[in-house]
């Protein structure tokens, strides 16, 4: 095998690799000798199939396996012999007559293009000074949370009397049959449906036509299904719903007391307040950590300046730019971005891509230096949490993660990043600073020079 460095500029390297046809043939013969004793081919005793016959039957398939293994091994040899630390998966570019290689008539020739990890000394976390904004929920906020919870758990009592009419905020109990062109359609019939008028639960126009309805009355509701309605067979069509209003109910004030807490399955009102306060504390702690992490990343960004692997930057930029183009096509660009030229946007988002790559490399190097690892248990738990989001398909998604290293890597990366961030915060000088709630929850601007 011959390995030649073809170019070496900055952090990019390209090597030419040639594996002689004889080496490939020897590997193929060895592979045939390995599997021949396990084959059961008609006309031959088990394990006694001649090598030449195996080659005629499976030669090309086995040669493909040989080539795949050879490419992997030789690429690894290029990295090891040249003591290279790749910044990503090397790119392989075949050269010459590939069909001739598969037929066992030509040498295997290919290029290995690889970006290298930059050499730099990461900042010592112990030298960093950070400020963590903190905020504690007040008793008033807890009381407001209780009141909000009570308002979301309204009770409804039947209205009585001759003058009762359904109004905004009332609940009506209805039966209905929906028809299009006089024919009832699937899914358009229901009984004893509880509908709060003004909730927006039904298609536009339906609830409005029930306002003013009396108990035990019939209402003909005429509506048009939205053009983008989820059921394609109904989208954009006019329908008539023969609706029977059976009851009209009004909301009664829910008193936040021990009985209310017990109704929610909680011991008493004090315990409910305690739980809500804990929930608020967790929300504010999450916001505090987000701000601290952002300050840390800004600090790491300003303290490191080194060449970046070109392919890594391009891949990151391509991911960002694809989303920008999608947002632009959908008219969802932020107002500031919408007024900028394509050239301005590309320049700014490329700078953000460079920031992300730089920070990723810094965190990776600090993690490596401190032997930060993502355990199998942590990865399995992340896989389980992600799979549970898919409901009935959870087991299928979990199995997909177990069988797909790339999918596992996507889950492993944020776990690793958080562990490194926690390590840095633990070693850094962190001072808590009390702020008000608005300050804690205010969205941060990007650092100077990272507009967009």
CATH number of domain containing 7:
3.30.70.1050
Q: What is the pLDDT of residue 448?
A: 58
Residue 140 maps to a domain: no
- The whole-number average pLDDT for the span 286-315 is 95
Three-state DSSP at 304 gives coil
Tell whether 311 and 426 lie within a shared domain: yes
CA distances from 265 to 259, 278, 326 (A): 10, 17, 45
> Which residues 6+ apart lie within 8 Å of 41 measured at CB?
49, 53, 54, 57
A 10 A CB-CB count for 317 gives 20
- The whole-number average pLDDT for the span 33-37 is 88
Tell whether 64 and 7 lie within a shared domain: yes
Residue 122 maps to a domain: no
**Count of domains in the chain?**
3
Tell whether 66 and 195 lie within a shared domain: no
Cα 56 to Cα 62: distance, rounded to the nearest angstrom:
11
Tell whether 162 and 300 lie within a shared domain: no
Residue 177 scores a pLDDT above 50: yes
Q: How many helices (H) and strands (E) does the chain have?
A: 13, 11
Three-state DSSP at 219 gives strand
Q: What is the pLDDT of residue 317?
A: 96
Domain boundary among 207, 229, 252: 252
**Residue 46 pLDDT class (50, 70, 90 cuts):** confident
CA distances from 219 to 5, 175, 193, 240 (A): 83, 10, 15, 10
Residue 448 maps to a domain: no
Residue 374 maps to a domain: yes
Residue 411 maps to a domain: yes
Three-state DSSP at 5 gives strand
Which residue is associated with the tokens 């301005």? Answer: 344
Which H or E element spans position 432?
A: strand 429-434
* Average predicted confidence (pLDDT) for the chain: 92
pLDDT in tens, 360-381: 999 999 999 999 999 999 999 9
A 10 A CB-CB count for 182 gives 6
In this structure, of 31-45, 193-207, 216-230, the range with the lowest mean pLDDT score is 31-45
Q: What is the pLDDT of residue 8?
A: 87
Tell whether 103 and 184 lie within a shared domain: no
The pair of three-digit structure tokens given for residue 244, joined into one six-digit string:
């029977």
**Residue 49 pLDDT class (50, 70, 90 cuts):** confident
Cα 124 to Cα 237: distance, rounded to the nearest angstrom:
66
pLDDT in tens, 385-444: 999 999 889 999 999 999 999 899 999 999 999 999 999 999 999 999 999 999 999 987
Q: What is the CATH number of the domain that holds 375?
A: 1.10.3120.10
Residue 323 maps to a domain: yes
Tell whether 91 and 221 lie within a shared domain: no
- The whole-number average pLDDT for the span 210-234 is 93
**Residue 334 pLDDT class (50, 70, 90 cuts):** confident
Q: Give residue 180's domain range.
A: 156-252
Q: What is the pLDDT of residue 338?
A: 87
Q: What is the pLDDT of residue 397?
A: 92
Tell whether 338 and 430 lie within a shared domain: yes
Tell whether 320 and 238 lie within a shared domain: no
Q: What is the pLDDT of residue 450?
A: 60
Can you name the residues that pair with 166 across neighbouring β-strands? none
Three-state DSSP at 97 gives coil
Q: What is the CATH number of the domain that holds 184?
A: 3.10.50.40
Q: What is the pLDDT of residue 153?
A: 86
In this structure, of 72-76, 237-241, 331-335, the range with the lowest mean pLDDT score is 331-335
Residue 265 maps to a domain: no
Rounded to a whole number, what is the distance in angstroms from the first to the last CA of the chain?
50
Q: What is the pLDDT of residue 449?
A: 57
Checking phi first, is residue 269 left (phi over 0); if not, alpha (psi -120 to 50) or beta? alpha
Tell whether 290 and 437 lie within a shared domain: yes
Domain boundary among 203, 229, 252: 252
> Which residues 6+ apart lie within 8 Å of 302 measured at CB?
447
Tell whether 25 and 79 lie within a shared domain: yes
Give the helix ranges, DSSP H, for 3-127.
21-35, 51-81, 98-102
Cα 5 to Cα 111: distance, rounded to the nearest angstrom:
10
Q: What is the pLDDT of residue 219?
A: 96
- The whole-number average pLDDT for the span 47-69 is 88
Q: Where are the beta strands (DSSP E) in 49-200?
A: 91-95, 108-115, 129-134, 155-158, 171-180, 183-196
Residue 449 maps to a domain: no
pLDDT in tens, 136-172: 999 999 999 999 999 888 889 999 988 999 999 999 9
Residue 258 scores a pLDDT above 90: yes
Q: What is the pLDDT of residue 452?
A: 41
Give the DSSP letter of residue 103.
T
Tell whether 433 and 360 lie within a shared domain: yes
With 0-12 / 13-18 / 19 or more C-beta atoms within 10 angstroms meaning exposed / middle / buried, residue 244 is middle
Cα 109 to Cα 160: distance, rounded to the nearest angstrom:
89
Tell whether 296 and 399 lie within a shared domain: yes
């Amino acid at each position: 095998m011959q390995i030649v460095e073809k170019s070496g500029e900055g952090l990019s390297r390209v090597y030419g690799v040639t594996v002689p046809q004889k080496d490939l043939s020897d590997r193929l013969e060895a592979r045939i000798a390995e599997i021949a004793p396990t084959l059961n081919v008609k006309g031959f005793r088990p394990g006694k199939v001649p090598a030449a016959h195996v080659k005629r039957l499976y030669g090309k398939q086995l040669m493909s396996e040989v080539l795949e293994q050879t490419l992997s091994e030789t690429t690894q040899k290029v990295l090891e012999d040249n003591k290279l630390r790749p910044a990503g998966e090397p790119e392989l570019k075949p050269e010459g007559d590939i069909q001739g290689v598969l037929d066992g008539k030509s040498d295997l020739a290919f290029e290995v293009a690889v970006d290298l990890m930059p050499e730099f000394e990461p900042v010592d976390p112990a030298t960093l000074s950070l400020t963590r904004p903190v905020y504690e929920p007040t008793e008033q906020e807890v009381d407001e949370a209780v009141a909000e919870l009570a308002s979301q758990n309204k009770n409804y009592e039947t209205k009585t009397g001759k003058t009762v009419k359904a109004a905004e905020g009332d609940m009506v109990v209805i039966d209905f049959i929906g028809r299009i062109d006089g024919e009832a359609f699937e899914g358009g019939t229901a009984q004893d449906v509880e509908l709060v008028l003004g909730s927006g639960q039904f298609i536009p126009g339906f609830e409005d036509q029930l306002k003013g309805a009396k108990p035990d009355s019939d209402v003909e509701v005429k509506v048009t299904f939205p053009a983008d309605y989820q059921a394609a067979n109904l989208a954009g069509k006019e329908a008539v719903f023969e609706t029977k209003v059976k009851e009209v109910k009004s909301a009664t004030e829910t008193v936040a007391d021990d009985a209310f807490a017990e109704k929610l399955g909680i011991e008493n009102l004090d315990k409910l307040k305690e739980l809500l306060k804990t929930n608020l504390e967790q929300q504010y702690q999450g916001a505090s950590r987000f701000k601290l992490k952002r300050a840390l990343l800004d600090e790491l960004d300003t303290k490191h300046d080194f060449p970046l692997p070109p392919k890594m930057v391009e891949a990151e930029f391509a991911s960002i730019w694809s989303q920008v183009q999608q947002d632009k096509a959908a008219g969802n660009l932020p107002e500031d971005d919408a007024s900028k030229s394509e050239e301005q946007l590309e320049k700014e988002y490329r700078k953000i891509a460079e920031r992300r790559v730089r920070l990723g490399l810094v965190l990776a190097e600090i993690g490596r230096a401190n032997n930060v690892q993502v355990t199998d248990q942590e990865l399995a738990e992340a896989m389980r949490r992600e799979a549970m989001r898919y409901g009935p398909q959870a087991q299928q998604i979990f199995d997909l993660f177990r069988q797909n290293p790339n999918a596992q890597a996507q889950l492993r990366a944020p776990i690793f990043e958080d562990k490194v961030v926690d390590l840095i915060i633990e070693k850094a000088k962190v001072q808590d600073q009390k702020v008000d709630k608005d300050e804690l929850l205010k969205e941060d601007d990007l650092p100077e020079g990272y507009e967009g």
